[in-house]
Chain A
Amino acid sequence: AQSVSQHNHHVILSEAASLELGCNYSYGGTVNLFWYVQYPGQHLQLLLKYFSGDPLVKGIKGFEAEFIKSKFSFNLRKPSVQWSDTAEYFCAVNAGDMRFGAGTRLTVKP
């Protein structure tokens, strides 16, 4: 069965630091890839998605992610985080069946 691994459970950064959250999946076929964000007390919202084409996808709020097929990875990046980016981030893979990673909690200190 496909699975999704997020390497970091909790990341703490200062404002303006760069961010990279890892995501790896274990499915060899065609996949759709997603990053969702959950702000404190809120529901999950789509941050960005990869379907096909350019492996570097840009999402909302300055986030981007790169699909590296050979590494089965879809890492999330942001050059300069803000306090308002404090949230939990979930990677998800859809290969007919949507699977979510365990999530990475990001805390940005002002």
Chain B
Amino acid sequence: NAGVTQTPKFRVLKTGQSMTLLCAQDMNHEYMYWYRQDPGMGLRLIHYSVGEGTTAKGEVPDGYNVSRLKKQNFLLGLESAAPSQTSVYFCATRGGNYNEQFFGPGTRLTVL
């Protein structure tokens, strides 16, 4: 089992460009999350989904959109990238007996 995978691993964008980050999971978990990780700020929740076809805003949703058309995929979109969105983005699922989260390897995004 691959667990949680993310593509791409690295990306450099210019201000104003758009892109989509893909998260895929083969764990059959209902819950999926997108976080951003910035130095000294830990992980902050951008958006999450409690199941196929549903999405909800997290702590820092502005400038991002998400879609969960299939249970196994959770897409994070940046319509018009800004330098403030330079970060490492982690996808996670939630499941197991203790509702623990399982993380993907991360995507390092730089916006120039």
Residues of A within 8 A of B (CB): 6, 9, 32, 34, 36, 42-46, 49, 51, 90, 92, 94, 98, 100-103
B43: A residues at CB distance < 8 A: 44, 90, 100
Tally inter-chain residue pairs, CB-CB below 8 A. 45
Contact A94 B99 (CB under 8 A): yes
Contact A102 B40 (CB under 8 A): yes
B99 to chain A, nearest CB (A): 6
A44: B residues at CB distance < 8 A: 43, 90, 92, 101, 103
A6 CA to B42 CA, complexed, in Å: 10
Residues of B within 8 A of A (CB): 33, 35, 40-45, 90, 92, 94, 97-106
Contact B106 A43 (CB under 8 A): yes
Contact B100 A101 (CB under 8 A): no
A94 CA to B45 CA, complexed, in Å: 13
Contact A32 B42 (CB under 8 A): no
16 contacts between A and B (CB under 8 A): A32-B98, A32-B100, A34-B100, A43-B106, A44-B92, A45-B103, A46-B101, A49-B98, A51-B97, A51-B98, A90-B42, A90-B43, A101-B42, A102-B41, A103-B40, A103-B42
